[in-house]
Amino acid sequence: MNRILSAGAGLALACFLTAGPGFAEDKPLIWKPIRNSETSYSVKLGLKLPTRLETEAGISMGVDTSTSGTPVDTPIKFWSNFTAEKIQTPAYQLNRGVGVDLDGNTGSAGITMNYYEKEIATPTIDIERRSSYGLRYDGTSGEWRGLDASQSVRLLHSPSRTALVGRASGSNGFRTVGAGVSVEKRLGRYMTVSGALDRTSDAPDPVTSVNARYSFRW
């Protein structure tokens, strides 16, 4: 564990020490603060390597607090991604990639294959499709768990910056399946507000939620 934390601290320090004027154009430094909720905050640090596979690697550190502001958890995760296929034209975009995550607190890990496709259907409507397939390693039991899969389609109305999203998922070898819909509204450059309705096979009732997300990257 100490080796993992030392490696994470070293990577974070390297990110700050290597930041300079040239990075504003090439953007090899990843620095992304995120407010997950009223009581959860995190920051994603990393480096993008100038290779054909567009490899990225780094560390995500966060803090979860109680409603009174007392820290209750300090999640830490090491991550890396690389691009297997990439196509980009003015009207079409395709990305296939592989990601690896390691939980610094529990030793759990995951390998994920991701697919993303975006096309301009009309002058005002964009269509985005995402799919993900992953295997999880449980650090507590020392075993690989079942396959997780998810699919989503997002219709974006560009002039109003409003999106309708439909999604479906299966986890733990499809022992649990779920589906949901949501509406998203972009406010300004960094804020997104969303409302969602989701239902899973292991819950008696659907779940509704309203969220606000603020993030930026430089």
Tell me the per-residue pLDDT of 168-196, one tens digit each, with 9 for 90 and over.
Answer: 999 988 889 999 999 999 998 889 999 99
User: Do residues 193 and 183 lie in contact, with contact meaning Cβ atoms separated by under 8 Å?
Assistant: no
Alpha carbons within 13 A on the beta-carbon side of 57: 12
What's the confidence (pLDDT) of residue 14?
Answer: 41
User: pTM of the prediction?
Assistant: 0.65
Q: Is the pLDDT of residue 113 over 80?
A: yes
Residue 207 has pLDDT above 70, yes or no: yes
Q: What is the mean pLDDT of residues 30-50?
A: 87
Percentage of the residues of the chain whose pLDDT score is greater than 70: 86
Q: CA-CA distances (angstroms) from residue 111 to 6, 46, 47, 169?
A: 23, 18, 19, 17
DSSP letters, 91-117, are: TEEEEEEEEEEEETTT--EEEEEEEEE
Give the confidence band of 26 by pLDDT, cuts at 50, 70, 90.
low
Q: What is the pLDDT of residue 32?
A: 87
Whether 127 shows a pLDDT value over 90: the answer reads: yes
Specify the higher pLDDT residue, 111 or 9.
Answer: 111
**Alpha helix (H) residue ranges in 21-82:** 23-26
How confident is the model at residue 24, as a pLDDT? 37
Average pLDDT of span 30-41: 85
Strand, helix or coil at 10? helix
Q: ∠ CA(112), CA(105), CA(7), 5° rounding?
A: 85
Residue 56: predicted pLDDT: 92
Q: Say yes or no to pLDDT of 99 above 90.
A: yes
Of residues 5, 133, 150, 21, the one with CA closest to residue 76: 5
Pairing of strands 191-200, 176-187: antiparallel
